[in-house]
Structures are given as structure tokens and as C-alpha cells.
Amino acid sequence: MMHEPGSILIVNGGSSSIKFAVFGADLLSLLHGKIAGIGTHPHFTAKRADGSLLADRDWGEGATITIDALVARLSRWLVDHLGDTDLSAIGHRVAIGGLEHSGPAILTPDIIAKLRALVPLAPLHQPINLDLIESLASVFPDVPQVACFDTAFHRTLPPEAETYALPALLRDAGACRYGFHGLSYEYISGQLPRLGKRVAEGRTVVAHLGSGASMCAMLAGRSIATTMGFSPLSGLVMGTRCGDLDPGLMIWLIRERGMSVDQVEHILYAESGLKGLSGLTGDMGELLASDDSLARFAVDVFAYRASTALGGLCAALGGLDALIFTAGIGENAPDIRAAICERSAWLGVRIDKRANQTNAQCISSDDSPVSVWVIPTQEELMVARHTANLAFEISSDSQVAAS
């Protein structure tokens, strides 16, 4: 007898936080939450789908509490709050899957070992992703786990976009453009048909602008170019990450400034971007609210780099039919959208100021040759869909075989 699918736990681990969500078998959200301050002062919050608060408390062992301990505590809380609803699958957003994964995968020891080998490409994200997978496997050993890769959507990049001008020995070892934020772009790609045939079948650039930021050129909904490359450091200016730099600068930092590789890594990931430019913070909302001249300068650099990247992506596409803003800054910062669009007027981008200020879905003016949109992304839902498709199919097959 086949059991009905139960709930799906979605986990997204970052360098200092763990976000989670629970979806029903119908893929409707049940609850979501976050463990913030990992390594310093862990704080747990959880909310129902309607936004009402379920929990808000310190998990205050500080730097001494391990990922295993946090997962055990989260698991006990989930079991208490799910009641009689079985946990049928666990889905993970995993930073990088390499070139072999163009879609999600059921996690096996062999796949986990291969993902461990990719840690150097995403040193802040991949280790916590894998630690969470292994910790949850020890708590829920019979629940299938699915990895959904942020790089998979970009496996449609043509060779000239994916390849770096490096010797074959390095290219064969994996030095290439992987691209990131793929789950966000995959979700947005699925939304294009409802925006009209010209958007769905044409030349679209999606700007995923948040504390991590990138842009993707889509032709008929498929990735053909993207700003992030070998690692999540590259491309646009981000909250604390540098974006594109001259490789010679890395040599200078090590050889002339006497920095270790670990010091360089810390500066580029944690002390650069908006934080490094402003000397204040990597939070765009705080910078926009500040009267400090360096805060304004950081915002200007962010918009400049985004607009020049847009021009490059349009060259890859051969033109532009639609521009879409998404993620935290893209969805909620009208001033940033306006600054990027003003610099992109030469591409035919014109916005309606009132629509932009109210975060309307369509913010382009009636006479704009390029349509401009604000579309909220839903990466967790994308992971839930993939997890349900894989895990429930595997479960059904095994039950049929057993019968």
C-alpha cells in the first residue's frame, strides 16, 4: 500500500545563518524560519505561512555550539510542530554542483564526496551546505535528501561564454564559468510566459540584486551569459563581496602587501563590496537612508557596475526585449532600479517613475521599447518542487517494487 507524501523540509545554509521552510505535499508553505548568528550568538525565529510568529528565542551557546547541535535542536522543534504530518523529503540549496549537474540530484555518499571536492569554489557556502546534509541524515536516516544546485541553470551557457582563456590543463581541472543564483533564475524563467510572448521567447536580462548580486542573460528563458563565474565573488558589487577585480591585484596583495591567501579570501568575501566602499555597512537599505558621502558613493558604484554589466549581457543577447529586477534590492529599492535604468536609457530602457516608486510589477513607461518588471523570486519553492519531483518519484517506485 502506497503512503501519501508528507511534508518537505527545505534548508538553505549560509556562512552565518540557516534558513528553512516546510511545505506540504501540495507545495503550499506551512512555515519558515531562520537560525541567525551562527558562530557568535545563535538566534532562532520561525513564522507560519501567514507571517504570525511561532518562535523567537536565543540559542545562546555562541561559538561553541556545533552545526550538529543546531540541527538536532531544529529537528526536535520541527517534529513537535509538524504533529502527525510525516516528513517525506529534505531539499537543500547547494552552492555548486560542478559541470556534471544540470539539474537536482538525490544525495548519495558518492555525490556528497564529489561535492566536498568543490568546496574551494564556494568556501563560505559549500561546507555548511554539506554539513547540514550530513547532520540531517543522522537525524532522519530514512528520509531522502535532494540537492538543488545554484549552478545547474547555467549549464546551457555556450562554450564561448563558459570558457576562460587559460591553458587546457587548468580548464580540464575545472577552471570555467559556473554561474550562480540559478534557482532564482530558474524560478523567474518559469514566470516569463505570463509576462507575454515577447518576454518569454525574446532577449531578457534578469538582475538578481541582493547582498549577493548577479545578472543573467536569457534567450527564450535559457541562460546564455551571466556575471558570476568560477566563484560567487565575481561580477557585480555585492554587500561584502568585491565583484570583478583585475587578477593582477591578487598577485599584488600577496606579493607586495604580504597577505596570506586566507587574509585575501577574508577581505574579498567579508570586507569588500558595499561595506568596503562605504566603510560603514554592506546593507543597501542602511546606505540609502544615510547622508554620508561614502554611503552615496557606494550606491553609485553599485549602480554603475550593474548598468555596465547589463550592456555586456545585451551584447551577448544581440539586443534587449525585457529587463527584470528580483531579490531583496531588486524587489524593494526603487532608487537603485531608477539609477540602473537611467544609465541604460541608450538600450531603450524607460521607466514610469510612479510605478517604480510603488514597486509595481511592470515599471516601464508606455513608450519604452524595453519592458521592465519587478518579479519576486521564490528559491525555496523552486527547491521544494525539485525535491517533491525526485523524492516522491523515488518513493513511489520503491513502494511499487516492494509490493
Written as one string, the DSSP assignment of 273-318 is HHHHHHSS-S-HHHHHH---HHHHHHHHHHHHHHHHHHHHHHHHHT
Which residues on adjacent β-strands are paired with residue 167?
none
> Whole-angstrom Cα distance, residue 38 to residue 248?
34
**Annotated catalytic residue: which of 150, 292, 335, 366?**
150
Coil, helix or strand for 354? helix
Q: Which amino acid is at 401?
A: A
The phi, psi pair for 376, rounded to 5°, reads -60, 135
Q: Is residue 353 within 8 Å of residue 160, measured between CB atoms?
A: no
Which string of DSSP letters, residue by residue, matches 93-137? EES---TT-SS-EE--HHHHHHHHTTGGGSTTTHHHHHHHHHHHH
Nearest Cα neighbor of 93 from 218, 221, 232 is: 232
181 touches 214 (CB < 8 A): yes
Q: Is 361 exposed, middle or buried (0-12, 13-18, 19+ CB in 10 A)?
A: exposed
> Quick one: angle between helices 109-116 and 126-139, nearest 10?
160
Q: Do residues 30 and 52 make contact, with C-beta atoms less than 8 angstroms apart?
A: no
Is residue 150 flagged as an active site residue? yes
Q: Which amino acid type is present at position 177?
A: R
In this structure, how many other beta carbons lie within 10 angstroms of the beta carbon of residue 60?
Answer: 11
C-alpha–C-alpha distance, residues 286 and 280, integer Å? 9
Where do the DSSP E strands lie in 4-76? Answer: 7-13, 18-23, 29-36, 43-48, 53-58
Q: Which residues pair with 45 in a beta bridge?
A: 34, 56
**Contact indicator for 323, 345 with CB cutoff of 8 Å:** no
> So which residues are the catalytic ones?
150
